[in-house]
Chain A
Amino acid sequence: MFPLRLCDIRFQPNGRPVLDGIDLELGGEGITLVLGPNGAGKSVLLRTICGLLEPTGGKIDWGGGKRPELGVMMVFQHPMMLRTSVLENVAVALKPHGVPRVERRRRAERVLDRVGLLARASDSARLLSGGEQQRLALARAWVTAPRLLLLDEPTASLDPSATAEVERIVREIRTDGTRILMTTHNLGQATRLGDDVVFMSAGRVREHAPVQRFFARPASDEARLFIQGELPWRLNF
């Protein structure tokens, strides 16, 4: 599956360039944060990699092989919560993997324990708080042991403690060997979690650099302005 190479990926619904020639290479380890202003194409990029959107041009090379049928998972900003228990909401992700029902539940329990929701396994998923629902969504992805996990602003609208908990889980998933590509608007989170940063603007990758270098010496003016726009927020803390 890796290195994952995106070559001149374009997505232009009705002729409007949302992704305008994306070139990107991802190795098999680490957490890559995708930063950029609203409308930069971050979420569309993740959906394209996930296979939810068909690019209108370009090619995705999955380590020289075909796109894997399983092994890529995505967690959304507002994850779905089925009208059933927390446990079943996690176990359901293993259906496409052909895992027997008993084994699905056993694996789901194990992952729920790791995200701190085992005590709520029999509760209704829809009655969880926003932070707990996001942890459930991460558990649902994690239970399938994906090679690549795509996270679309998983901590947007979460309070600081819920955000910290989600970040802890993301680190654990990475430690388990999953490659993570995550969008965020939170620059503090980027410095805490990321190994490298992809900076996007107007449907293009403007910069791809290690986290420290990106924040210390952004290569593009747009990246510098983007970071400066966030700096007062960070200095307050």
Chain B
Amino acid sequence: MTLRAPLTIGPAPHVHAGTSVAWIMLHVVIALIPACVFAVYLFGLAALLTLLVATLSCLAAERLLQRGSAFTLADGSALVTGLIYGLTLPPALPLWMVAMGGFVAMAIGKTLFGGLGSNAFNPALVGRVFLQAAFPAAMTGAWLAPLTAERFVTLPEATLSGPFLAPASGSYDALTGPTPLGDWKFAGGETSTFDLALGFTSGSLGETSALLLLMGGLYLVWVKAANWRIPTAILLTVAICASLLHGIDPQRYPSASFMLLSGGLMLGAWFMATDPVASPLSAPGCWVYGLVIGLLVVLIRLWSGQPEGVMYAILLGNALSPHIDRWTQPRAYGVTGGGP
């Protein structure tokens, strides 16, 4: 007998598809890289520092908060949260706020619910919504004009300001270029589709290049790291609603291309709404979820006091997700009627 090693036993199946949580997260990071690089190119040092601090604060929070349990940084989920969180932020936000939001994202958005797999909401958005509520002025006024000549040399004054020492009021204005959605809502301007698609506009780090985000999203769907039904449902819903409304009153309602390419829709649809933990399980559930988020985006953008609604739309979608799951239970083979 050549057999020397003792036999091990383990439950069937004895083979595996080879995916892992870390594998999924790695692909999300890869898909985000072009948008991150573009944000740095557009806004310079401020963007680089914001992304770095956002990511590091999330990683540090995860390490600190999950101290008792196994080494959870290796699954990559904190890295993904950090990057996505960073991309939702305006480029000239004070870094201490960035760090604080990152900590809140991991502490309240994730750890408090029970860590990986248990969060009810997308943690990155929890961090962002915290900042929005705590520092509304900074969050809506920290826009930078893209491609300024000195963007790699100087930092906006706000970036390095000390905690709770907001820079003198008015200092933002010198830097600000209005975001396309804000411009449309408050000044009636409509940025050209070309600028929106390529991303040479003002806005949050990940709000700018719709094309790069779309490429990243398609990559995610192609490697099957994200459920294609969710972004498809969201974008279709927004496109159809916007086309209908624009057809009715082109003066009042922006075109479908503007709605699709502006703001955080691409980032939200491809990277945040697809967070598996906080989205429904079944295929029909994903369609319903996408439809709900799409409708909410249109509703908030067009009829609320806010220029952008992707963040709230996704958070509300997250909240509905367990209920959608319940309504869209798959019908088991051979079972007629009944169900939970």
Determine if chain A interacts with chain B. no
Which residues of chain B have a CB within 8 Å of any CB of chain A? none
